[in-house]
Structure 1
Amino acid sequence: MILVTGGLGFIGSHTSRALLDMGERCVIGGRTAGRSPDVLATGGQAVVEPMDCTDLDSLLGVGERHDITGIVHLAAAGLGAETPLDELWANTRALFNVLRAAQEWDVARVVLASSIGVYGGAEVAEAYREDVPLPIGSAHLIPAHKKSAEILAGAVSGNTGLDVVSVRIGAIWGPLGRPASPFFGAPQLVHAAVGGNAVPGPLYAEDAIDMCYVRDCGRAIALLQTAEALSHRTYNVGSGRTTTNREVAEALASAVPGRAPGLAEGRRPGTAPGVRLDVDRLRGDTGFQPEYDLDRAVGDYVRWLRAGNPR
């Protein structure tokens, strides 16, 4: 069985769903044992286990109850911690516990969630490639932890033989995601259109980012977990193109006629043009191709929200 930590969360739910659709059996881990999202109707192929990745005994107990053959580590421990140091310590402790459990269980592969944020400050012209030199410093806790996690994971792979792969995930949006993001406008635009509300704060038409619909993101991660062999230790997960707020608004004009929110012209002052994620590695080693273009993604998300789902 494949253990998905954070498997009841946003990306975790869709990754679990994709693995189940591939015929895999899953242990879906979460800090709470609440109701599983509707997207995770499993038909008996999965079991939900409450777990705390910062507690090694709790984590190892899962392996006593189930035959774990692979791990996708998506849990973000320590969110909302009182201090930055607490958050970093919780996430680092969870990382070491997952790697320790993987070694003890002799799993086939561990996939670790990293972030597009690790590229912050990197000097590139058109696309972020996995071999771009990364700046050492990070102004935000998340990319700081993800960079260190990638380094540690690489060292573990090189010295123990454990197959550990880091996935640098781009801007993800869709069902179960937050209705607003500080990094890109698509979630706000869709929620405003469905609710008939104004967008809080100005969104600029030409602001662009590499957006990946969450159903495609989950499938990409599942493909990396189940691939027979991989050629690299790091993979970008994104759409491979940038999408502007204007394009999102145009898709909404078709999906929700008369309700597409207004946008400010141009690009937010002081921002640089969007840079896409190069996903050639992902495509080459797994055959991944996005199934959701922008129009299909917007239509799917609109239907999801109109069915009464709050996010």
Structure 2
Amino acid sequence: MILVTGGLGFIGSHTVRALQDMGEDCVLVQRREAEVPAFLDAARAAVERADITDLPSLLDIGTRRKITGIVHLAGSMPWPPGSDEPIDATRRALGGLFNILEAARSWGVARVGVASTIGVYSGVAGEGALHEDMPLPMTSPHLIPAFKKIGELLNDHLAGATGMDIVNYRISATWGPRGHVDPFFAAPELVHAAARGTEPDLSHLRAPAHAEDSIDLCYVKDTGRAIALLQLGDRLGHRTYNVASGRATSNAEVAAAIRTVVPDARIELPAGEAGPRNHLDITRLQQDTGYRPAYDTERAVADYIAWLRAGNER
């Protein structure tokens, strides 16, 4: 069984679906109670309520379940920021990551995958492909990439020191069913507004959106499948992988795809772009797992709108 922290969340639930499609049973670990989504095979998805910062309760899962691998998608960072005393919050956040790795060693699991983010590349100069071996700035503009960088360094150290197989997933901007409107990119709100028949409200974005603004957008079903392939691959040649579509998608491309489904969608974005046109290089992921994105922009938009129009809130 593969233990997935955050297994009932956005990316987690789609990762579980992909693992199930590949023949794996899963243990879904959540801190709060939540229902198993209908698109999962509930008979093959055992739910355990546990806090990863509580090592005894985490280890107890292994006394009742035969855990063969771990996909750690729950955030090992102080979140929400400012809600706790910062030193204690940081200690708990990193302690959660250490507990996952301690459990992995205790259970003798084959591989531990840990979520990182496209945000670690923030501040890298230039346009084009972003490679896993690129030097990264030591600073970060946001708490999330800062702690993901810390986690990657710790994982690299502990993999070497313990001999465990620990893999970092640098996950690109991910959108699709069960996702939230995101403060970093406009695409989810553009789709939600089209499905509602309203004008998009982009006031939540950290910066104004422009038509040519672009980012590596990966549909969540592709994200989940890529993570599942990395978890189950026989042999991986690296410790860090970009999990992405491998191309930059602009807001204008998303808008055009939306209009093929909703011709009267009210999308008006100013011309121009706010930053460089980058994407994550996925050569390493493709070579080691055979992954290829199944959803281009048009297919992703059509699938997402159909999901929302079926009565799903997000």
Coarse TM-score class (shorter-chain normalised): over 0.9
Distance of 1:10 and 1:129 partners within structure 2: 25
SS of structure 2 residue aligned to 1:40: coil
Equivalent residues, number: 306
Structure 1 residues 166-181: aligned runs within 5 Å: 166-178=168-180, 180-181=181-182
Distance of 1:39 and 1:277 partners within structure 2: 29
SS of structure 2 residue aligned to 1:3: strand
Which amino acid letter does the alignment assign opposite residue 197 of structure 1? T
Contact 2:127 2:276 in 1 (8 A): no
CA displacement, residues 112-158 of structure 1 (integer Å, 9 cap, x when unaligned): 00011111112243111000001111231111111111111111111
129, 152, 155: which one pairs with 2:154?
152
Structure 2 partner of 1:198 = 199
Structure 2 partner of 1:290 = 293
SS of structure 2 residue aligned to 1:80: coil
Which amino acid letter does the alignment assign opposite residue 66 of structure 2? D
Distance of 1:263 and 1:221 partners within structure 2: 33
96, 99, 106: which one pairs with 1:97?
99
Structure 2 partner of 1:277 = 280
SS of structure 2 residue aligned to 1:29: strand
SS of structure 1 residue aligned to 2:39: helix
Structure 1 partner of 2:131 = 129
SS of structure 2 residue aligned to 1:39: coil
Which amino acid letter does the alignment assign opposite residue 20 of structure 2? L
**Which moves more between the two structures, 85-94 or 48-57?**
85-94
Structure 1 residues 17-166: aligned runs within 5 Å: 17-42=17-42, 44-76=43-75, 78-80=78-80, 82-83=83-84, 84-166=86-168
**Offset of 1:33 from its aligned partner?**
2.6
Counterparts in 2 of 1:144 and 1:275: CA distance versus 1, 3 Å = same
Contact 1:252 1:260 in 2 (8 A): no
Contact 2:211 2:252 in 1 (8 A): yes
Provide the TM-score with structure 2 as the length reference: 0.94
Structure 2 partner of 1:13 = 13
Distance of 2:284 and 2:126 partners within structure 1: 18
Contact 1:249 1:260 in 2 (8 A): no
**Offset of 1:160 from its aligned partner?**
0.9
SS of structure 2 residue aligned to 1:247: helix
Structure 1 partner of 2:2 = 2
Q: How much identity, in percent, do the aligned residues show?
A: 55
Distance of 1:79 and 1:142 partners within structure 2: 9
Contact 2:3 2:69 in 1 (8 A): yes
Provide the TM-score with structure 1 as the length reference: 0.95
**Offset of 1:38 from its aligned partner?**
2.0
**Offset of 1:185 from its aligned partner?**
0.9
Contact 2:53 2:93 in 1 (8 A): yes
**Offset of 1:91 from its aligned partner?**
2.2
Contact 1:80 1:87 in 2 (8 A): no
Matched, 1:215 2:221: yes
Which amino acid letter does the alignment assign opposite residue 201 of structure 2? P
Distance of 1:41 and 1:260 partners within structure 2: 37
